[in-house]
Chain A
Amino acid sequence: MENLVLQALSGLASASSLFLVASGLTVIFGVSRIVNFAHGSFYMLGAYLAWTFVTTLPRGHLGFWGGVLAAALLVGLIGVVVEVLLLRRIYRAPELFQLLATFGVVLIVQDLALLTWGAQDLLGPRAPGLRGGTEIFGMRFPDYELFLIGVGPVVLGLLVLLFRYTRWGTLVRAATQDREMVGALGVNQRMLFTSVFFLGAFLAGLGGALQLPRESVNLHMDLAIIAEAFVVVVVGGLGSLTGAALAALLIGELHAFGILVLPKITLVLVFLVMAVVLVVRPHGLMGKATGPAHGGAGGAEPVIGPAPRPLVHLGIAALVAALVLPPFAGDYALSVLTEIAIFILFAASLHLIMGPGGMASFGHAAYFGLGAYGAALAAKWLAAPMELGLAIAPFAAGLFGLIFGWFCVRLSGVYSAMLTLAFAQIAWSVTFQWVEVTGGDNGILGVWPEPWAAPKLVYYYLTLALCLGATLLLRRIIHAPFGYALRAQRDSALRAEAIGIDAFRIRWLAFALAAVMAGIAGGLFAYAKGSVFPTFLGIPRSVDALLMVLLGGVQTLSGPIIGALAFTGLQEQLVRITDLWRLILGLVIVALVLFFPQGLAGAARARWEARRGDA
């Protein structure tokens, strides 16, 4: 019994830390609708800066608490810089495009932190006055954890007061409800957004700084916290502070007690919670259904017409080059081209649900990975030849696409995207944990092509044929009646239903189709690499796909192709040239975002249309 009380207290302390980070994220999202990937970086910077201040300032209460506060304020200012220089310029860009920008910031901060603070983990001093422990039921409980348990509710209370009883708070709440209307009433939106961003970054920095007496400061803090912070925000209901508090409490306590029963549950617990909550409550615990996520009611996306003639010529030229030149390329160039072809299909499959479908997915790698695992498991357990493995891949992915998709497409916007992430993480944890069947994190080795396809050139042509065929099929589908229906339900679900389109079924089928296509790409990838690992289903791979689509431009058909080419090519080249590839890649992404807010293909189209004088 005493043990359980202490376990509950431990859960409360974790919940409190989690809430601090999540509160900033939810405040930022509520007003600006930005999926701020860099929030984890703010958290990490808060911890590092606090370490620097606290270890330089004189010891004692002033040095410690002053250092923590200074770090949080400085992170708030860094947030302002990011907002003013970067995000402010792209609020009008398509939904989720800001995610690309904040991801660039993540990459930049990772390298800058390494350059500034070095590779070794840092240990901050303990908090003065809170070094020891207090006896509770005959067991010692750290004072600092008790302090943290208090901090969470205090911050929540202050935030609630701030939003309820100040003019600024009222404006923020109004902007959360309807930001166009607030602008129409003459409120300076720029100041409002900037100040909200300051508050959000400040809270993230504070969350990081307060971890100093508790945890080591290291370069993995940013990505370790970001997924969990998002889960808390979404489970709580986007933009809802009390919801975030409730969700943090739920996750903290489930975690503390879950490990007593199932120690290995830590891998997947938060995502299981999120999946259950979102299936039962599509807008989180405390969230409300919001209006249309983008562009106000009836704001249709641009119509996709047939490709203009120069583009067709360009496509044919690229195709000819892709067919004729490879025999003259070396083995390595061939394997890069193979990879690019695979990623083009992978990005194109995600584009089907993101562009014409109007749904986002943060977990598209699940289907890529399930395709790869389908092929690899068939090879391992059934000794299936490559041809059969490649045929199984789309079925495996498609089956799970049907199952997961049925739940995901009922939701909208970021909730739907986060549910796809939850399912992807559950699939990932199964491949990771089910060692007897999947080989766990050591993966499945020896998935090599049949002898006839083993030469790199043959495998390249095989990949090109399948990926190109599938990509062209996707293009055809978008122009077919099914594609029109898909776009109709995206632009106005209500009107689409009125003319007899079953929006749910259309979305569901599109989701499954995208999964099938990603499965083909995954199967090809498995045989290209010779081995399959849980990383194929991991969050970074999903993020890669998202970046490719956003970089190319969501609302053009050639976008994913160009995005995949640019991203894969850029990364492949940079990794070989420099150790600081993350910094440079991040800067390039930020620059591209600033100069091409419609994506690369979107920008090309805009120029083309401008020169032609009309659309």
Chain B
Amino acid sequence: MTAWVIGRRQILAGAGAVLAAPAIGRAQGDVIRIGEINSYTAQPAFLLPYRNAWTLAVEQVNAAGGVNGRRLETVFRDDAGRPEDAVRLAGELVNAEKVHLLSGGFLSHVGLAIADYANQNRRLYVASEPLTDALVWSRGNRYTFRLRASTYMQCAMLVEEAAKLPAKRWATVAPNYEYGQSAVRWFKELLGRARPDVTFVAEQFPALGRIDAGATVQALAAANPEAIFNVTFAADLTNFVRQGLTRGLFERRRVVSLLTGEPEYLDPLQDEAPENWIVTGYPWEQVNTPEHASFRDAYRRRWNDYPRLGSVVGYDTVMAIAAMLRKTNTTDTEAMVEGMKGLQFQSVFGPVEFRAIDHQSTMGAFVGRTVLRNGRGTMADWRYADGKNYLPPDDVVRALRPQS
């Protein structure tokens, strides 16, 4: 019984799509549809601000008359953190919702799954967030572009600062999955190159989201390093910092830490935010460039909240897509792919280019040290590290990325 009902419903849906096809054909002159897949229910802390800013950006583009007279429209889908669901939804967006391009992705493996779908089905995929280097290098493909500064780039930014420290004995702590493993690998390799005299005396790989912080902190302290490289984030970071502070792990030791300056991860720590860590992040209240100030004001007006880094990523993904569409003036996939290559646009952080060589954008990050001000953590002595200065030379990139 149920078999038949569902079968019929799918058929009706299919028939509906066929009937609706002429309507979509007509509408195509007016609307450009973006299919946006993200782990909204699995990672709400990052993705709610992301979606808010996305909505804001689309409203702004449409209020200004759209792109070449066509309005932008977004179809949001929740992959619940499962790559296999993301692939199904990508199919749904392309085949049933008739979107012109795909975007989104927060978790690396979800991003890779969508990228592979895009490659197989020849659709443009503008990845916003997934950090894995594989997305544009070892598993890079013609149809995939990525906005955010990758694991490698952010590690390179931190190594530059770490190399200036006198510390010679280092320990690392990272969540045990691809992001943590590659961050530690790059950090070791790049720091070893910049400072051949450093040694790594301990490494800890707690399971993501399930850190046993007390034991991990104690194990790091036992190795007595002079400095620590931290890759944990979110709940793991909070627990690690709390145990580390009470056990005195961070006293007389420098800590270099990925992403910790992002409001998503710094704000939950409130007045227990660690001080004097060297971090990558986003000091939203202090960046006063005209682009950023107007973005910040608009975001606050629209959502009555301050922007997080996720907001910047969501906003700039829309702006990058809009800039590409303005340049190509078509929704033909191959033309859009050509348009993305070498695309330059004005991001919230400044001018950004999607490199033709590996489809990575040159969006950067802020590097500084953490301080406590008015009972909450923020960044001081920060500078904007432009992503284009933290990518390997072109011949190395060519060796990393399959050339076709």
Give chain A's interface residues, CB within 8 Å of chain B: 3, 6-7, 10-11, 13-14, 110, 114, 119-123, 131-133, 139-142, 144-145, 214-216, 218-220, 224, 228, 255-256, 259-260, 263-264, 266-267, 314, 317-318, 321-322, 325, 328-333, 335-337, 339-340, 432-433, 435, 440-443, 445-446, 448, 525, 529-531, 533, 535-536, 540, 561-562, 565-566, 569, 572, 575-576, 579, 581-582, 600, 604
Contacts and interface: CB of A to CB of B under 8 A. Distances in A.
B205 A330 contact: no
Nearest to A319: B3
Contacts of A259: 204, 206, 212, 215-216, 219
A123 B87 contact: no
A110 B81 CA distance: 15
Given A321-B7, A442-B178, A445-B112, A7 B120 contact: no
Interface stretch (B88-96, B357-365, B380-388, B390-398): B88-96
Contacts of B205: 263-264, 266
B109 A142 contact: no
Given A266-B210, A440-B181, A3 B218 contact: yes
Contacts of B132: 442
A233 B215 CA distance: 22
Interface of B: 1-4, 6-11, 13-15, 17-18, 40-41, 44-45, 47-48, 77-78, 80, 82-85, 87-89, 91-92, 95-96, 108-109, 112-113, 115-117, 120, 132, 134, 139, 176-178, 181, 203-207, 209-210, 212-219, 221-222, 234-235, 238-239, 242-243, 246-248, 264, 267-270, 272
Shortest 7 CB-CB contacts between residues of A and residues of B: A119-B44, A318-B3, A216-B238, A329-B14, A10-B214, A331-B95, A142-B246
A531 B215 contact: no
A122 B238 CA distance: 10
B247 A325 contact: no
B7 A325 contact: yes
Nearest to B264: A120
Contacts of B83: 443, 529, 531, 533, 535
B37 to A, nearest CB: 11
B151 to A, nearest CB: 12
A121 B235 contact: yes
Contacts of A114: 41, 44
18 contacts: A10-B218, A14-B215, A119-B45, A121-B268, A214-B239, A216-B238, A216-B268, A259-B219, A266-B207, A321-B8, A331-B91, A336-B88, A440-B178, A529-B88, A535-B82, A562-B2, A575-B80, A581-B78
Given A215-B238, A340-B6, A582 B212 contact: no
B2 A565 contact: yes
Contacts of A333: 10-11, 13-14, 96
* Main secondary structure on A side of the interface with B: helix
Contacts of B112: 442-443, 445, 531
Contacts of A331: 91, 95-96
A537 B270 CA distance: 38
Nearest to B46: A119
A435 B206 CA distance: 17
B247 A330 contact: no
Contact of B215 (A120, A123, A255, A529): A255
Contacts of A11: 215
B4 A7 contact: no
A579 B10 CA distance: 22
A142 B219 contact: no
A151 to B, nearest CB: 15
Nearest to A218: B235
B96 to A, nearest CB: 4
Contacts of B116: 445-446, 530-531
Contact of B113 (A3, A256, A529, A600): A529
Contacts of B1: 314, 318, 604
* Main secondary structure on B side of the interface with A: helix
Given A123-B269, A328-B15, A332-B95, A218 B215 contact: no
B204 A120 contact: no
B392 to A, nearest CB: 20
B88 to A, nearest CB: 6
Contacts of B77: 575-576
Contacts of A119: 44-45, 47-48
A322 B247 contact: no
Given A330-B96, A579-B41, 10 more contacts: A121-B45, A123-B268, A139-B247, A263-B205, A318-B4, A321-B4, A332-B92, A442-B112, A443-B109, A535-B82
A317 B112 CA distance: 40
B14 A328 contact: yes
Contacts of A318: 1, 3-4, 7
Given A442-B112, A575-B77, A581-B78, A263 B203 contact: yes
Given A255-B212, A259-B212, A328-B14, A266 B177 contact: no
A576 B89 CA distance: 9
Contacts of B40: 579
A591 B222 CA distance: 54
A480 to B, nearest CB: 25
A14 B214 contact: yes
B120 A530 contact: yes
Contacts of B44: 114, 119, 219
Contact of A120 (B84, B89, B267): B267
Contacts of A255: 212, 215
A214 B3 contact: no
A267 B205 CA distance: 9
Contacts of B213: 214-215
Nearest to B248: A140
B204 to A, nearest CB: 5
Given A7-B218, A123-B269, A328-B15, A224 B209 contact: yes
A13 B113 contact: no
A256 B87 contact: no
Contacts of B242: 214-215
A215 B206 CA distance: 15
A132 B246 contact: yes
A582 B108 CA distance: 23
A29 B248 CA distance: 41
Contacts of B115: 445
A359 B93 CA distance: 40
A531 B113 contact: yes
Contact of A123 (B120, B209, B221, B238): B238
A263 B134 CA distance: 24
A435 B181 contact: yes
Given A220-B209, A443-B113, A579-B41, A133 B247 contact: yes
B84 A533 contact: yes
A13 B18 contact: no
